[in-house]
Structure formats: C-alpha cells, structure tokens
Structure 1
Amino acid sequence: MRSLSVHSNIYYWILKKYGPNYKITHQCFDDILESRIWIDLKLQENPELDVPEHLTKQAFNSICSIYLEFCKEKFPFKRNYLPYLMMAKDEEIIKPFFKISLPILFGLKLQRNLPYDINHEYDRPKVNYYYKNNNKRKFNEMDCYSDQNELAKLFDELKDNYNGTKAYKIYHEEFMCRYSEKELNDSDFEQPGSSSASKKPRHEI
C-alpha cells in the first residue's frame, strides 16, 4: 500500500507557509503525486471499487484533497511528472497540469477557474502565516523554468510523449493544438527583423 510519508496536514501547512516555489514544497508534492497516482492505478485494476483495498476512506480523502490543494496554488510543472501523468486515467489528476500549470508556463490563457472545488471532505488546519505575506528572503526558492533551455526541454518531451491513457491523450492533444494556435497567432504580429521576433524562443511542432 502506498501512503503519504507524513500527515497531509503537515504538507498543507508547508504549502501555505512557503508557497509553491520552494524546494521543500516540491519535495512534498513529489510524495503527494506518487500517492495520488497509486490510488488511480489501484482503481484502474479494480474499477468496481470507490476506494482501493486496505486504504481507509479518510486516507483516500486526505491524499486526493491535498493533491488538489497544491494544484489550486498553481504548483509548477516539472518534466519528471510526465511519466506519472501518462499512467493516470482520472481527470482530476490530469486536468490541473494541462489546464493550469502548462498554460501558465507557455503563456496560454487559463481555461480553468480557480480556486478548485475540492469534493473530498477533509479538515485542514488554519494557517495564520501565509506565504503571500512573507517578505523574508527566500533562500530555498526555485523557479524550474526561468531558464528558456529548461522550458524548451519540457516542450520537447511533451511533443514526443503522445503515449499514455486515453484521458491523457485527450488533454495532451488539446494542449498541443492550443499551443500551435498561439504560435501561429504570435507570428502574425511579428515583423521581420524586429527585436521581439529575434529574441522570442520558437518551438518546432
């Protein structure tokens, strides 16, 4: 059985205190994502079940709800998440990445309203000190895609990864079509020889 390494309320407290761009928060989400994918895979094996065997309803709600708590904070997408997404069938897992995280990274308009409605009942602690009010220096802050080369690598992996579940393929294809349209629209406004045209990174689709 795959469960969270620590109580989900600890992850919630870290998210609210530090925000989505700290290394410690990314480490939390790595654990959350693996647990959420494990739930989905077990339910794929036993589609007649609502909750995987040997997992309590409370633990199920804890994992599913903390996953969405992180997603609604616009948690950054990382390249190593792709293999997990390709295994998922539950749209609740896939949708935040293709509707929120990737559009933000690639400059597309969000198609999903925030915050998320979280339908998994679970009590969360009140956190009085939110990261949005934190003016202290962020020693551990990390921006995965401030480097255009990293963004290009992510795009290349997206372009080359059309395999996966049916649900993954649907969202993947939709995102790639939206990105292609954006590239075409942007090119219509660029003048040959302009500084914006020469500096803007282009991706071959």
Structure 2
Amino acid sequence: MRIYTRSGDKGKTSLIYGDRVEKNHARVEAYGTCDEANSMIGLALSYLNEENWEDKDNFMSFMQRIQTILFHVGAELATPEGKEVTWKLKQEHIEELEKEIDKIDQHLTPLKNFILPSGHQASATLHVARTVTRRAERKAVAIDSEQHQQAISYLNRLSDFLFVAARYVNEQCGGTETPLKTDI
C-alpha cells in the first residue's frame, strides 16, 4: 500500500463508503481532531518510557485501549449520515471511562482550586490531549447527527478522564501541580 495517492491534491478526501468531500468538511474536521488527540496521547505515553510506578503497565495498557477506541470514534465520525457504522461505540465504553476516573480519583488529593496544565511532560501533554478532545467533541456536535450521539458522549467523558489521568501521572512521576493564582 502506498502512503500517497494524490487523490487529495485538489482539496477533497474520501469519507467511509467513498463519498468525496472538501477537506474542511465538518466530518473531516471532527475525525481529524480525534486523530490529533490520539497523537497527543501517544506523545504523552512516550514521555513515560523511563518512568516507573506500581500500576504503570495497567495505566499504559488502558491508555492504548483509549487510543484504539478513539481511532474507531474517528471512523464513526467519518461515516456519512444514513450509512452503517462498521464499529459502533457502546455505552459500556463510556462507563469504562467513568469507572477508571473513579478509580484514579481515589488516589488524588482533592482539588481546592483550578490548576494550570503543568508538571511532568507527560502530564502537561495529557492536558493538551484533553483540550484537543474537547475540540473534537465540539466538532462532532457540529455534525449535528443522532447517529453519533455515543461518540459525542465518549469524547465528553474522555476529556474528563484525561484531566484525571494528567493529575495521576503528575503524582506518580513527581510532577508539581501549579494552582491558578487569583491575585494577578
């Protein structure tokens, strides 16, 4: 398989099922932003290669599961209205994130104020992934499709998870959370 096809040289790309749309089409924006979030998660994980903590392998495995699901969320968003989605996001995927949020949150110091994205490189990168995921959610909402309601819910919950994951990584890797100063 060649990496380049030249089929997008005039500003169009194919959705799933072959429909051709402009590269700035709402669907392309939505699934492209999922891809961007996925890449940021991968970058964050690369910063953890030298780090060690008791539950690191489970954390890394769960993050890679998220990356896989996020890839499928992008594919779902690339599926035109009325066409069958080949891999359907389920409520259990959202509940899985909720359970992991609750599990990790038990180990964190309760927040008393807002924090700035900071600390360990992996933590700060997870915060970037969180904000990109929020953008992906907004882009998915712009498609305005009932067909993608589960994807929108998943992206919403994923951004919550990434916030908690960033705090967890900071704690596990000795990073420091920077509280928001109100007296500027």
Shared topology, TM-score over 0.5? no
Range of TM-score over shorter length: 0.3 to 0.5
TM-score (norm 1): 0.32
TM-score (norm 2): 0.35
